[in-house]
Amino acid sequence: MLTDQFVKKKIHMAGVGLSCVINLLKIFLIKIFLGIIKNNNKIIVISKVIHLGDIVACEPVAEQYRIKYPEAFIIWCVEKKYRELIDSNPVIDYTLAVKCTTEWLLFVKLNIFDSVVDLHIENRFCHLCGIFLKKKDGSNGVDFDNYYHSGSLINVFCKAANIDVPMIAPKVYINRKVYDGLEKYDLSDPYVVIHCLSNESCRDWTIKKWRELLRRFNARKPDIKIVEVGLSPLLNDGSLRHYLDLCGELSILETAALIKRGSVFIGVDSGPAHLANAVDSRSVILLGKYRSFKRYMPYAGFFDKSDLVRILRSDGPAADLSVDAVLGELINILDA
């Protein structure tokens, strides 16, 4: 087992090195192009490499820099699997797609950009490489023990980067081709979108409660379809009527489009919840105590201001929230 892990790590590190070389060549070509054609435009790189929710929450940073530097060439560094979020953003000129945060660290050390906006909290650990991300100027006092004391995620990461917080709500840019990709699914009836599993089990609700909630929802709203999204299904066991499992079937932007077209989104604190916030979806979000943070609010924008969103809180873990409370708010939002 240890030998297998060692080999996988070595293969990954070799891939990081190769990816870095290829990306460096592309950056140098960009710099040559800008020097010849664009009269030496300032190159600004914004970096938030991992975690879907974090990247969506930080989207306003790109808008803020485009407003402040309209002639700049803006690059966003992101892990390859999230690049569609950046590729679709019209205020970003180029997506620097990397294999992991360690590759980003190599770019920082090379010092090849005019301006760097590093939105990471220092000591972010790369589980693939076993390397901690170190920042030249630290994280402005933000660490993994106190970060939610600074407010929503955009507040946290802007403080860590020592930049002003944009007074702009996050957006996801969805084109017609993405919506067309949903046409192959049976979505003619009204539907709610559910997402049950976050990347940390301490944020999750129990499978027993999800099943009871949706069984009772089926009885109250028999004409409304239940569509589950995410990486892996939790509820595809044949017990629910009018249920569609799209877990693992959709791209990130297709998931956002599905949520936007749905009647309500309901889920735990997760990447799809941030997508729901970015597309202004009526939503019910389940929050509880997380690590040492008894009450935290990760979202800015629609979720923080709209009367069409219910943030349900437990003094303990989110798993302690009752089915009655969640069902009541789901029905209220649906009927609003």
Work out the average pLDDT over 61-83.
97
Residue 295 belongs to a domain with what CATH number? 3.40.50.2000
Residues 13, 138 within the same domain: yes
129 burial (CB, 10 Å; 0-12 / 13-18 / 19+) is middle
Residues 187, 243 within the same domain: yes
Best CA proximity match to 300, nearest among 15, 14, 56, 32: 56
Residues 14, 150 within the same domain: yes
Residue 27 belongs to a domain with what CATH number? 3.40.50
Helix (H, G, I), strand (E, B) or coil at 225: strand
Best CA proximity match to 137, nearest among 110, 108, 165, 114: 108
User: Domain ends where: 116, 135, 161?
Assistant: 161
Residue 169 lies in a domain: no
Given this model, what pLDDT does residue 137 score?
Answer: 80
Residues 6, 153 within the same domain: yes
When divided into structural domains, the chain yields a total of 2
Residue 171 lies in a domain: no
Residue 166 lies in a domain: no
Residue 293 lies in a domain: yes
Domain that residue 22 falls in: 2-161
Residues 111, 185 within the same domain: no
Q: Is the pTM of this model over 0.75?
A: yes
Per residue in 121-131, pLDDT tens?
Answer: 999 888 888 88
C-alpha span between 190 and 159 (Å, rounded): 41
Residue 55 lies in a domain: yes
Residue 296 lies in a domain: yes
Residue 30 lies in a domain: yes
In this prediction, residue 1 has a pLDDT band, given cuts at 50, 70 and 90, of: low
Residue 170 lies in a domain: no
Residues 10, 150 within the same domain: yes
Per residue in 186-237, pLDDT tens?
Answer: 898 999 999 999 999 999 999 999 999 999 999 999 999 999 999 999 998 8
Residues 180, 108 within the same domain: no
